[in-house]
Amino acid sequence: MEHFDASLSTYFKALLGPRDTRVKGWFLLDNYIPTFICSTIYLLIVWLGPKYMKNRQPLACRKILVVYNLGLTLLSLYMFCELVTGVWEGQYNFFCQGTRSAGEADMKIIRVLWWYYFSKLIEFMDTFFFILRKNNHQITVLHVYHHASMLNIWWFVMNWVPCGHYSVCADNHPDHLRGHLAMFVPSWLVIFPNRIHDFPDYSLHKLLHSDLQQAGSLPAERAPEGPPERVPDCRQRTHQQLFIPGKQCEAEEATEGLRSKSCKPPHHVV
């Protein structure tokens, strides 16, 4: 394994040049093998997980989802604040910024970008929760490609360009933060299924309500009591729509559309 890692390091150095020495010894960054193994295990779970869960009941995972989404929301908020303050302190140029141009501000950016890289490993859990809850329709090719590639891409970023202009690439955390908030709020709501009925009949309520009914957390909706409301006959509605003051219009059948068979002007008495 050490020989293989040395061969990889020699190849990467010949292809990309020397690594940035400021991240030497940092967790998961010294060699590429752990990152590659984690990505491979992720892909194996994506392949085998749905097969394992095929004949098993889906797991709710509600409480752990709340903790997971809250943790990632707070981590994203921390990274966003650190990136913004680091870029401000280093007076970064958003068009072209070197990796050794801002002194201590560069180290602040490097530290927070390591957390950004590590968060890609944590976010493998997104797919694992889909598998455990049997939401396999959410495991798309784009979803798997994104999660499997980001950890590897940022390993190379952290070893060769761990600050500078790449801080601008990672500084899109308003979207990242909104994404985890959008996941956190519904997962908090499903902890209290009885409170969902207090919400107006918006699409989010419908989505959560149907999901909980399928999971057996909510009783099925009862049919309305009393006789159903009488709906006007199609012929009645047709005559009402075709009636025009001053004319006598006749409609043959409502199934033939809203076409009148004949329209005759009224006879005037001489």
Average pLDDT across the chain, whole number: 74
Q: Judge if 104 and 238 occupy the same domain.
A: no
Q: Quick check: is 2 in a domain?
A: no
Q: Judge if 119 and 68 occupy the same domain.
A: yes
Which residue from 231, 230, 232, 264 is spatially nearest to 247, judged by alpha carbons?
Answer: 264
Q: How far is CA 31 from the centre of its chain?
A: 31
Report residue 118 as tokens: 């590590």
| Model confidence pLDDT, tens digit, residues 125-146 | 999 999 999 999 999 999 999 9
* Catalytic status, residue 3: no
Q: Quick check: is 1 in a domain?
A: no
Q: Quick check: is 270 in a domain?
A: no
**Intra-chain end-to-end CA distance of the chain, in Å:** 112
**Is 133 within 8 Å of 61 (Cβ atoms)?**
yes
Domain that holds residue 122: 8-215
Q: Judge if 76 and 172 occupy the same domain.
A: yes
Q: Quick check: is 185 in a domain?
A: yes
Helix axes 124-132, 62-89, angle to 10 degrees: 160
**What is the pLDDT at residue 3?**
76
* pLDDT at residue 58 tops 90: yes
**Is 103 within 8 Å of 20 (Cβ atoms)?**
no
Full-model pTM:
0.63
Report residue 184 as tokens: 């956190």
**What is the pLDDT at residue 37?**
96
| Model confidence pLDDT, tens digit, residues 149-189 | 999 999 999 999 888 766 666 554 444 444 444 544 444 44
Q: Judge if 146 and 245 occupy the same domain.
A: no
Which residue from 144, 142, 118 is spatially nearest to 131, judged by alpha carbons?
Answer: 144
Exactly one of 146, 165, 205, 239 is catalytic; name it.
Answer: 146
Number of domains observed in the structure of the chain:
2
Q: How confident is the model at residue 254 (pLDDT cuts 50, 70, 90)?
A: very low
Q: Quick check: is 248 in a domain?
A: yes
Q: Judge if 256 and 136 occupy the same domain.
A: no
- Could you tell me the CA-to-CA distances from 25 to 21, 54, 133, 238 in Å, in that order? 9, 42, 38, 81
Q: Judge if 187 and 239 occupy the same domain.
A: no
Q: Quick check: is 183 in a domain?
A: yes
| Model confidence pLDDT, tens digit, residues 90-136 | 888 777 777 777 788 889 999 999 999 999 999 999 999 999 999 99
**What is the pLDDT at residue 92?**
81
**What is the pLDDT at residue 169?**
62
Q: Judge if 118 and 74 occupy the same domain.
A: yes
Q: Judge if 54 and 92 occupy the same domain.
A: yes
Q: Quick check: is 3 in a domain?
A: no
Q: Which residues of 217-268 form beta strands (DSSP E)?
A: 248-250, 262-264
